[in-house]
Amino acid sequence: MTDYFHLNLERDQLLSLSTLGLAHLGDGVFEVMVRSWLILHGRAKVKDLHRATVQYVSAPAQARRLEKILPLLSEEEHDVFRRGRNTAPHSVPKAASRGEYQAATGLEALLGWLYLQGRTDRLNELFEIMMEGE
């Protein structure tokens, strides 16, 4: 049975995955981390949790948080981010610019890539930096 919470894909497997697939997974990873952070830090009343979550996981918010970690990425991590950012979006949400949406897609691809390798320590490290000052 596959343990979907503790994946550790090999490099060849990771390279065969689509960038948008990585971003799709990374979006979910980031949302779970934000939801956990909101609950653990008491940042929102229960009735406001969804609204608070959306404020953190929106493309503009992700693009702003990305700026905090971009200088800290390894060359390989930066390559994954760049690949995700450069993937042509099919559509852009009304609340985001094309640049914000592409930056958020790059961040999500990076988070999905780290998750699939089982690199939860690195995910937590980057997440903590992104959430500093909140």
Q: Which residues are catalytic?
A: 27
Distance (Å, whole) CA 87 – CA 8: 24
- Which tokens is 71 given? 């200088």
String of DSSP letters for 35-93: HHHHHHTT-S-GGGHHHHHHHHHSHHHHHHHHHHHGGG--HHHHHHHHHHHTSPPS---
Distance (Å, whole) CA 56 – CA 35: 9
